[in-house]
Structures are given as structure tokens and as C-alpha cells.
């Protein structure tokens, strides 16, 4: 570790997926939480060693027996302190780097960034879910058995226009769909009762009718005034295809956020041999580190993001060419859309097809 730090910072980054300066910040903040007292029998492991082993595990997903030869720490000891370090990272940073807005003043900049970067006004985030594979928990029956044949917990996340995670729900049963998990979540309750405190409805750019603020989602969810999704893909008119393009262009941020997360912390691509509670701590630690790196080094991961060329054609890049976390199965339940949600979607369809809300290149994209 010292040789990498002094002689090759690039290799240090590739080894731990982290800059040396950020490692030092983590050690300073998390170190007191993971320091143990020495005993008459043995000296405790240094917190820097525990942190380095944990970050290497998160970055690569290496098995504990493989890590023990790199650090000369037994795999049984590693299995004890890795969950502790992940929990310490989560407890130390979660409220700082993953704070969900709870006032109109905090939501407005997020909506403004969606409008500026992705041409979707009034969007306050993009919502999606992914499977995190786990060993079958004992006595769990088929609860964690997902549609792809593996066992998993579900990570449901809300992401802003800059690929930062705003809210997560980790630990849903793998047999559940993301809409089922959403319907039982605190986020859904806050949206329904208004305590999420979106800005008051106001007019879209170049328009004069008041439109509520909303979250972007995929076809698994029901359209509500606070949740907009694309039209189903059968029998679409040209106007509906343009609406789908505009909404999906904004939704792409959550796909990219998951892609960055999985490529940076490849433990999420493995089948973790731990109980769901530990998997939850590991996953939330990865998300906290992701947000921390996005805030401190906002351009560092841009090379692995989807790119748009000068003509706004999509150029898929690195993370789409490699393994990624599995999508959550979509369970479509008929007749669950609200009249107000459908009306708002139709209004947005007209808006995106009008001179007020269209973008010059959209006709080429459908």
C-alpha cells in the first residue's frame, strides 16, 4: 500500500477504486469507529489495514480466503471486520452524502438540473430497482428466489440528474417486483400524503398551465401525478414515441448510476455469501462511497457513462458492455393507473410535441 501511494497513485486507485486523498479522509472519519483495544493476548489490527481490506473486497468482490494471502490476516478475522467497517462507513457518511430533500427549496435545484441537462422539466429524480445476488438465507423458502433463478435482495433507488443516489431501499425480497417494494416504501407514503414536499405545481417552460412535479419511472409502475412513466411499447403513435424518448432520456440517469456503482464496487456483481442484513450494510456502504466520490471527483467516472455526441445520438460505453446487476422483474397489473396520472401524461405528451417543449433532434430519435 505504501509503495503504491508513493510510486504509482494510478495503481493505488485501480487497486482500491479510490484516490489516496479520499482513503485518508475515510480513515480519519471511520478509523475511530473501527479501532479496537489491545489485549494481553494480542495487538488489535490497525484501522488502516481493516479499511484497505474492506475497500479491496468492495472493489473486486474477492473471496475472503484470497484476501488473506494479500494482507496476512486470516479469512475468519476478515469475515468479522468487513461487515463492521461497512456499517461504520454507512453510519458515518449516510446522513451527509445521501440526504433525501424534504423541502421545496431542496427539490428545486434537482428539478432545474433535469430540465437543463436532460430537457425534462419538473422531474425530481429517476426511480429503478436492481437485484443484489445472495446465498439462499436459511429457512427463507422462496422469498428471496428471483425470476432469473438466483437468490437476491432488491436495491430500489431514486437518483438525481448527476447520478447521485437520493434515497434507497435495500433488502426487499428477490421474489418481489420493484413496484411491490415501492408500494410498501416510505417514499411512496411521502408522495401520496405530500410530506415529500415537492415544489408547488407551476407552469412548464414556455407554458401557462400548472403541472405537478414528479419522479421518472419505468413501465412497472403506475402513472400518477407524482410518478411519470413511458407508454407501453405496443401500438404507439408518433407523439407517444416522442414522449417515451423524452422521459426515457431523463430516466437513463438511474441506469447509469447503477452501472457506475456496479463497475466501481464489483462485489455487487458477485453472489455474496452473507445474510441479507450484512448484504444490506455492504450495499449501503458502496452507495455512500459512490456518492462521496461523485461529490469530490465529479468527472472521474465520466468515461464509463453513456455519452451523447454533437447530434445527441447515444453512444453506449463501458458498463453496458460488461456484467451488470440484474433488472427487477416487471409485474404489470392492469387497471391500476389513476385518471389524473393518465391526464398528466397526455398533457406532457402534447407539451413534448409542441414548440414549447420539444427539442430539435427528437424527430430523428423515433
- What Cα–Cα distance (Å) separates residue 139 from each residue in 95, 135, 144, 272? 34, 12, 11, 17
Question: Would you list the DSSP string of 225-276?
Answer: TTEE-PPPSSS--HHHHHHHHHHHHHHHHHHHHHHHHHHH-GGGGS-B-S-H
Among 46, 62, 97, the domain boundary falls at 97
- Do 115 and 88 belong together in one domain? no
pLDDT at 335: 42
pLDDT at 338: 79
- Do 47 and 181 belong together in one domain? no
- Do 226 and 244 belong together in one domain? yes
- Do 11 and 110 belong together in one domain? no
- Do 265 and 348 belong together in one domain? yes
- Do 93 and 108 belong together in one domain? no
Question: Would you list the DSSP string of 280-305?
Answer: HHHHHHHHHHHHHHHHH-TTTTGGGS
Among 49, 69, 97, the domain boundary falls at 97
**Which H or E element spans position 152?**
strand 152-159
- Do 68 and 149 belong together in one domain? no
- Do 109 and 232 belong together in one domain? yes
pLDDT at 234: 81
- Do 138 and 275 belong together in one domain? yes
Query: What's the whole-model pTM score?
Result: 0.91
CA distance 223 to 219: 9
Please tell me the total count of domains within the chain: 2
Domain span holding position 221: 104-365
- Do 93 and 211 belong together in one domain? no
pLDDT at 321: 62
pLDDT at 189: 93
pLDDT at 41: 82
Q: What is the mean pLDDT of each run of 10 residues along the chain (366 residues)?
A: 80 86 93 90 90 95 91 93 96 92 95 94 94 88 83 94 94 86 91 93 91 92 90 89 94 92 92 92 96 86 69 67 65 62 94 93 87
- Do 238 and 89 belong together in one domain? no
Among 41, 66, 97, the domain boundary falls at 97
Please give the biggest Cα pair distance in the chain. Answer: 77
Residues near 98 by beta carbon (within 8 Å), at least 6 away in sequence: 164, 165, 166, 167, 168, 287, 288, 291
pLDDT at 322: 65
- Do 211 and 261 belong together in one domain? yes
Amino acid at each position: 500500500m505504501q509503495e503504491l501511494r508513493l510510486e504509482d497513485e494510478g495503481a493505488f486507485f485501480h487497486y482500491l477504486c479510490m484516490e489516496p486523498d479520499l482513503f485518508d479522509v475515510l480513515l480519519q472519519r471511520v478509523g475511530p469507529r473501527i479501532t479496537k483495544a489491545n489485549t494481553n493476548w494480542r495487538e488489535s489490527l490497525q484501522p488502516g489495514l481493516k479499511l484497505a481490506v474492506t475497500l479491496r473486497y468492495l472493489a473486486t468482490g474477492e473471496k475472503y480466503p484470497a484476501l488473506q494471502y494479500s494482507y496476512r490476516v486470516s479469512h475468519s478475522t476478515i469475515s468479522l471486520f468487513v461487515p463492521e467497517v461497512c456499517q461504520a462507513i454507512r453510519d458515518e457518511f449516510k446522513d451527509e452524502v445521501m440526504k433525501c430533500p424534504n423541502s421545496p427549496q431542496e427539490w428545486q435545484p434537482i428539478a432545474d438540473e433535469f430540465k437543463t441537462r436532460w430537457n425534462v422539466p419538473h422531474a425530481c429524480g429517476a426511480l429503478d430497482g436492481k437485484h443484489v445476488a445472495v446465498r439462499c438465507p436459511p429457512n427463507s423458502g422462496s422469498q428471496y428466489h428471483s425470476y432469473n433463478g438466483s437468490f437476491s435482495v432488491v436495491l430500489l433507488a431514486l437518483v438525481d440528474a448527476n447520478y447521485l443516489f437520493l434515497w434507497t431501499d435495500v433488502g426487499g425480497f428477490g421474489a418481489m417486483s420493484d413496484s411491490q417494494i415501492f408500494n410498501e416504501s416510505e417514499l411512496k407514503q411521502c408522495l401520496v400524503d405530500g410530506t415529500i414536499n415537492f415544489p408547488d405545481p407551476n407552469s412548464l417552460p414556455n407554458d401557462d398551465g400548472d403541472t405537478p412535479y414528479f419522479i421518472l419511472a419505468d413501465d412497472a409502475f403506475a402513472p400518477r401525478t407524482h410518478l411519470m412513466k413511458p407508454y407501453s411499447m405496443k401500438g404507439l403513435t408518433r407523439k407517444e414515441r416522442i414522449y417515451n424518448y423524452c422521459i426515457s432520456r431523463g430516466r437513463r440517469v438511474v441506469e447509469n448510476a447503477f452501472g457506475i456503482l456496479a463497475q466501481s464496487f464489483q462485489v455487487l456483481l458477485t453472489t455474496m455469501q452473507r445474510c441479507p442484513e450484512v448484504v444490506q450494510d455492504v450495499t449501503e456502504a458502496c452507495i455512500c462511497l459512490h456518492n462521496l466520490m461523485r461529490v469530490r471527483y465529479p468527472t472521474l467516472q465520466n468515461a464509463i457513462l453513456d455519452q451523447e455526441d454533437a447530434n445527441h445520438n447515444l453512444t453506449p460505453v463501458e458498463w453496458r458492455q460488461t456484467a451488470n446487476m440484474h433488472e427487477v422483474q416487471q409485474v404489470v397489473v392492469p387497471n391500476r393507473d389513476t385518471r389524473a396520472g393518465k391526464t398528466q401524461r397526455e398533457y406532457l405528451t402534447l407539451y413534448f410535441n409542441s414548440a414549447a417543449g420539444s427539442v430539435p433532434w427528437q424527430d430523428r430519435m423515433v
